[in-house]
A = this chain, B = another copy of it.
Amino acid sequence: MPYQFEPGRIYRMPTHFGPAPGPRQIPAEANVDTTRSPRKTLISSSFLTEAAALERHIPERFALVGDPVVTVEFHYMTDIDWLAGRGYTMIHVWWPVMFKGQRDQVVGRFLAVMWENLADPIITGRGEIGQPKLYAEIPELRAVGASYHCEASWMGFRFLDVRVTELAASTNESRSEPPMQGTLMLKYVPRTGAWGDADICQVSFTPALTPDLTVESRKAAAGSVIFHRAAWRDLPTMYHVVNALADLPVLSSCGGLIATTRGGKSYRDQQILT
C-alpha cells in the first residue's frame, strides 16, 4: 500500500519517508526552549543609496518607504535547537518597503536576498517560508580588538566584505526610519516544464513579534559594505544578484551595529499576504 500524508504535519521533498523534522517540527527529545536557542552574534552595516536604483529590485505592489537604506546583516548562530545544538551563519540584505495588497498593507523590511553556509536551512527556509536563501561559504567572524570583519565567498570567490568598528560613545541615530511591522519576501517557485511560468508567486510575511528574544549586548558601530562584481564563471548561479548589489551607489555609510542575543522563534507565525 502506498503511503498517505498525515494531516497537519509538515512534509518536504522527499515526502516518502514521513513528516520532515525541521525548525517548525522538532522532535520532543529536543526539549526546545525558545528563550535560550539560538545564541547569536549580529553584525550589521547600512548604507544610503539612490531610490531609483533600489526600486528596480522590488516587485509589483511594493514601494520604498523612508530613506533608501540598504542593510547587510551577518547572524552568527550557535546552540540551534532544531540542529541539535549546532550552528550556522545567515546573511540578510534588506531595505524598508510598504506592501499594498488587495487585503493587506504592511510596512516592513524587504528581505531581498539571504545567504547561508548550510544547505539544510536553505531547503527548509525556501520551501516552508519563502526566504530567498542562497548558499555561501561564510567563515567565522574575525575580531581584532573592537573591529570586526565579515565575509562571504562561493567556491573561493569572495563577493562580500563587511567591516564594522565599535563606537566609543553611542550616537544619536536621527535617520527617519518608519516603524517596521515585520519582514516581507516573495515566495516564488517556477513551474516545471512550462519554463517562465510560476507555480507559486506569493508575498510571505514574518511578523516582528519575537517575545522570547533577549538582547544581551548592543553597541553602535561605524561600518562599510563592499560587494565585489563577479563574472559568470566566478559565480555561475548568482553573479546577477551580486552584481546588482555591487552596482547600487553608496551615497553614504549609515552606521552599524554589533549585538549578541539569545532566543528566537520557529517562524510558525509566517503568513501569506494578499
Contacts and interface: CB of A to CB of B under 8 A. Distances in A.
Given A21-B237, A119-B119, A126-B127, A144 B30 contact: yes
Interface string A74-106: 000011011111110000000000000000000
A196 B244 contact: no
A22 to B, nearest CB: 6
How many residues of A sit at the interface, in one of the four size bands? 35 or more
B55 A188 contact: no
A144 B190 contact: no
A154 B268 CA distance: 26
B14 A132 contact: yes
A79 B139 contact: no
Nearest to A135: B119
A143 interface: yes
B127 A17 contact: no
Interface string A4-24: 110111111111111111101
A188 B12 contact: yes
A202 interface: yes
Nearest to A186: B15
Nearest to A41: B78
A129 to B, nearest CB: 6
Interface in A181-240: 186-193, 195-196, 198-200, 202, 204, 232-234, 236-240
A85 B142 contact: yes
Interface stretch (A56-64, A171-179, A253-261): A56-64
A169 interface: no
A33 interface: yes
A108 interface: no
A118 B238 CA distance: 14
27 contacts: A1-B56, A2-B60, A2-B62, A2-B63, A3-B56, A10-B190, A10-B195, A12-B188, A13-B132, A13-B187, A14-B113, A14-B134, A15-B59, A15-B132, A15-B188, A16-B112, A16-B113, A19-B240, A20-B237, A21-B236, A84-B142, A85-B147, A85-B148, A119-B134, A120-B135, A189-B200, A195-B268
A11 B248 CA distance: 21
Given A55-B1, A232-B29, A140 B16 contact: no
A27 interface: yes
Given A84-B233, A188-B13, A200 B198 contact: no
Contact of A123 (B14, B30, B87, B134): B134
